[in-house]
Amino acid sequence: MENVLSILFSLSLFYVSVTSRVKGYVAVLRFQGLILSVLVLLPFLKNFSIFGIILPITLLLVKVILIPSYINKIILDLDIKRVIEPTIQQIVFLLLVIATMIVIFISSSVIAQSTELNVIPFASGFSAIAIGIYIIIFRKKLIVHVCGFLVLENGIFLFGTAVASELPMMIELGVLLDVFVVVFLMGIALNKIRSTFEGFEVTDLGRLKD
Amino acid sequence: MNSLLNSDNILFTSAFAIQFISIAFLFIKDQHKALFAANTVLLIGLTLGLFSTISSALFSSAEISLQSIFFNFIRLDELGTFFLFIIQLVAIPTTIYNFSYLSHYIEENRSIKSFVIFYVLLLISTQFIVIANQAILFLVSWEIMSITGYLGMMLEKEKEEVQKGSFYYFAASHVLIFILYIMFFLLHQQTGSWFFSDYHLSFSTGIVVPIIFILSFIGFGIKAGFMPFHFWLPQAHPIAPTVLSAFLSGVIIKMGIYGILRTYLFIKPVPEWAGWFILIVSIISAIFGVWYALAQHDIKRLLAYHSIENIGIIGIGIGIGFIGSANNLPAVEVLGFGGALLHTLNHAIFKSLLFIGSGVVYQNLGTRNIELMGGIVHRAKYIAILFLIGSVAISGVPPFNGFISEFIIYTGFFKTANELKNFYPILMLMFVVGLAFVGGLAVACFTKVNSIMFLGSERKAVKHFYTSIYDYISLGIFALLCIVIGFYPQPFVGIVNKVIVSNFVSSHPSSALINIDWLFFTIIFSIIALGIFFLFLLKGKLEKKFGKRTSPAWGCGYENINPRMQYTASSFADELNEISKSVLVYHKKVEVSNTAFPLPSKFESHSNDFVDSKIVLPSYKFLSFLVMKIKFLSQTDIRYYIGFILIIITIYSLIAFLW
């Protein structure tokens, strides 16, 4: 079951690398959040406990509802153009993503021979980290950077579940809070940036350099 | 321990507390009152500290048992106490001079409160360095000392030379503390402890201990100003406020000596190459330090080079001590380290005297250039006499204190030659000649300083030469110490001997140091002094009888002598500077008109520092050139940085994967 979910997660990464609409990114974030919530919920279906349910519910709340709707709100409020502005062609980006994922999946299976880990969640998480960074590098819009950062964070989450069987719940919750605060601050910053700069592209921020 | 409330401990701790409290008095609004109150309280604290230091084990039978009060963080062993004594002894007259020095600034409507804060913190942190028994406390105190020294230097921060010179100091301190960190981490790694009392290493255990020794010599050597690392001294000393340059030259560079000696205690006995290494570096520092000094026109820069010379002499003593330690000769050890320690004390005294003397002159004339001074003896007779005492003492001429410590070092040379036959006598003879050469050049240099500055007639018109009572008290205390140690060295030699016997010499301490017949010196010096006194009486009598004939200074038979016809500082030293032109980077520029009708002619001479102009600045330029080569990596766009992070992560993962 974990493997199926991880593969679904990986497929969403392909979608995120070809879509040219900001809405698409938000939808992927929702989808990934849902997968992660289910993934965390799985162990607790076997032996149910009231504390075990806290993490999936919070995850669902933050990653599926709060953050995506907040980003949508920012897009509406600030009237950001709905298309992303890639710096390289989408097909090249896709090929880069595929190449990276191949390398990661193969090397993960090699690593798995010597250590105890779930190959597919591990490799999917790792890929998400790489692709989150790629999104930040190859896209110009600040709001897309936020999405890239969130993809990266999802990757770390998945990666964590694959490596250690269970991270302590408090740490997971803490990370969630961090991410939420970061996104929140980003929204505030974007609002402030609008009053100074015309666009929402990182190249504009280069003018801030001393 | 039941000695927690021992009266000695209370005295010791309260001395520090009172020094610290003096900062609070700066909240008084009127600057004059604030300065007076803070300085007085600081003086009380320092005096109490000096009393408590003198009442410690080193000086009397009573003991301060602070060992366990601060969880073993503080220890008053003999070496530390000796340096504590030096610090407090020098700090008291220097602080007295503060009264008059800073009131000049207050009259110019400048704020001096921040300077006083830095000065107090500097004093306290310096005292903490020598009593610290823990590496972290030591390093933190060291850093506070460096930074407050830097901040204090910025008193006249609007001047460009101040910014430049203090940056030299700051950069050198920065490099130094970095080296010290490595050194103490290595010590910690070797012993597993941060406490000095646990550091007992031996050279035979491997490569780490020699590395520790070299690092300590470089790190502490930068602070002390040994020759290849001295370049910051002549830049920083001239621009520092006089109070600070006196303390800097008198005490803070001695912290380097303290560090070297402290490290020696961790790793003793040392092999012989260490002794030769220090000996050679020191003799180079001594010779070239004094030679550079001779070429300077800036009085404070000249004194800074003399500090390098004297650090060289101290280093020679340490080198002899190391050789004694390598060959297990307690007599040589005692003489070498004894000379070094006593010279540390002596140099702290007369160098502070000279700096404060030059500060008094600077305040009245507004220049540090010797070429513009002259005839001060007619304005302030006693300042000239006090400065002369310091000059004689620093030149190592009897009957003052410089002679005593240099005499011990000379004795150390002969003792080494005597004990270690073989090829040693010839080598030692070379060092003796080198040290004698240094002494000769020092005499030449201070003849120049005294004659050009104080004698002759005024080159620059001075309306009013103002001296305050504080100047005389402060200079007087220093001069008195010079005379006392010169005429009656027994107690000081005894103290130094106690330090060495308890800490340095491992077995069968020798009494070579106290066996010298010091009483002879007292008698001979007294006879000389009496002789001079009677000559003066005779002179007075003869003058009364035959009258006094006066003529213009250095008139040499000319009728209308004017100040420009006098000897100048550069003409005085020209012959000697010509010899070592290339090393001194000594430039002369003469412009003489060769036309039918004379045009204005010009003469210029100045000396740059070899290490500074040929090594430090070019390597800095090379470094900045290299840095500019990779400047393209500095982009405005954050995406590039994330790309760099990705590349690094990939490389790391690859390495981890393939390992």
What are B186-240's pLDDT values in tens digits? 989 888 888 888 888 887 777 888 899 999 999 999 998 888 888 888 888 888 8
Any A CB within 8 A of B638 CB: yes
Q: Give the angle subtended at the CA of B475 by the CAs of B474 and B476, to the nearest 5°.
A: 90
Whether B644 contacts chain A with CB within 8 A: no
CB nearest A206 (choices: B637, B645, B646): B637
Chain B nearest-CA residue for A201 = B637
Residue B322 predicted with pLDDT over 70:
yes
Q: Is the model's pLDDT at B69 over the cut of 60?
A: no
User: Rounded mean pLDDT of chain B?
Assistant: 85
Contact between chains at B642 and A205 (C-beta distance less than 8 A): no
Q: Which residue has the tokens 């942190």?
A: B125
**Contact at CB, A137 and B637, closer than 8 angstroms:** no
What would the pLDDT profile of A1-14 be if each residue is shown by its tens digit? Answer: 788 888 999 999 99
Cβ A133–B636 below 8 Å, yes or no? Answer: no
Read off the pLDDT of residues B599-647 as tens digits, 9 standing for 90 and up.
Answer: 787 777 777 777 888 888 888 899 999 988 888 877 767 778 888 888 9
pLDDT at position B2: 45
Q: Do B642 and A111 touch (CB under 8 A)?
A: no
Using CB atoms, pick whichever of A110, A111, A133 lies closest to residue B642: A133
- Please provide residue B577's backbone torsions phi and psi, each rounded to the nearest 5 degrees: -70, -30
pLDDT of residue B300 exceeding 50, the answer is yes
Residue B647 tokens read as 């590349």
Do A136 and B645 lie within an 8 Å CB cutoff?
no
**Polymer length in residues for chain B:** 659
Tokens 């009264």 correspond to what residue? B99
- Binned at pLDDT 50, 70 and 90, residue B140 comes out as very high
Q: In this model, does residue B7 exceed pLDDT 70?
A: no
The nearest CA of chain B is from the CA of A203 a distance in Å of 6
B179, pLDDT greater than 90: yes
How far is the C-alpha of A129 from the C-alpha of A150, rounded, in Å?
10
- What pLDDT, on the 0 to 100 scale, is given for residue B221? 92
For A133-142, how does the pLDDT look when each residue is reduced to its tens digit (9 = 90+)? 888 888 888 7
Whether residue B631 lies within 8 A of chain A, CB to CB, comes out as no
* Lookup result for tokens 């840095």: B627
Q: What pLDDT is stored for residue B150 in this prediction?
A: 92
The one-letter code for the residue type at B301 is R
**What distance in Å separates the CA atoms of residue B332 and residue B418, rounded to the nearest whole number?**
10
Q: What is the band of B92 on the pLDDT scale with cuts at 50, 70, 90?
A: very high
Contact call for A206 and B636, based on CB within 8 A: yes
Residue A134 in contact with residue A96, Cβ under 8 Å?
Answer: yes
Q: Do the interacting molecules here have an ipTM over 0.85?
A: no
Q: For B532-553, b where at least 16 C-beta lie within 10 A, e where not — what string? A: eeeeeeeeeeeeeeeeeeeebb
Given this model, what pLDDT does residue B62 score?
47
Contacts (Cβ under 8 Å, ≥6 apart) of A57 = A37
* A8 within 8 A of A158, measured Cβ to Cβ: no
> How many CB atoms are located within 10 Å of the residue A75 CB?
17
Locate the domains of chain A by residue range: 2-208
Contacts of A86 in chain B (CB under 8 A): none
**Bond preceding residue B399 cis, omega within 30 of 0:** yes
pLDDT tens, residue by residue, B477-514: 999 999 888 888 888 888 888 888 887 776 666 777 77
The pLDDT value given to residue B102: 87
Max mean pLDDT among B51-65, B253-267, B580-594 falls in B253-267
**pLDDT value of residue B311:** 93
Task: Please compute the mean of the pLDDT values over residues A86-101 and round it to a whole number.
Answer: 88
Q: How far is A11 from chain B (nearest CA, A)?
A: 22
Cα–Cα distance measured from residue A199 to residue A201, given in angstroms and rounded to the nearest whole number: 6
Contact between A130 and B646 using a beta-carbon 8 Å cutoff: yes
pLDDT tens, A151-206?
988 888 888 777 665 556 667 777 777 787 888 777 777 777 766 666 666 666 66
